[in-house]
Amino acid sequence: MVADSQIVCYCRQINKGTIVEAIKNGCSTLAQIQDETQACTGNQCAELNPSGNCCSGDLLELLELHRDRTTDQEQCGCCCC
């Protein structure tokens, strides 16, 4: 398990704890996380990230792990979430 202090967005130096907090505070999409934290809004993540990839995949993984499924159903109005 990755510590909250672990950097997940290398171009903006944003850690896991900041992303998880944004999700707990209601962010439920990548765009909302970007607006709230500025993560994944730079242009050097793939260069600075040790994995050689943009951080969007890591952000989406955190979103899946921490978002509330009930909130998703209320927002989209469908029964299949």
Domains contained in the chain, CATH given: 7-73 (1.10.10.1100)
Which residues, 6+ apart, have CB-to-CB distance to 40 below 8 Å? 9, 12, 30, 33, 34, 54, 55, 56, 59
Stated length of the chain: 81
The pTM of this model reads: 0.78
Task: Tell me the pLDDT of the chain (81 aa) as tens digits.
Answer: 678 999 999 999 999 999 999 999 999 999 999 999 999 998 887 889 999 999 999 999 999 999 875 354 444 444 443
Q: By C-alpha distance, which of 37, 36, 30, 81 is closest to 58?
A: 30
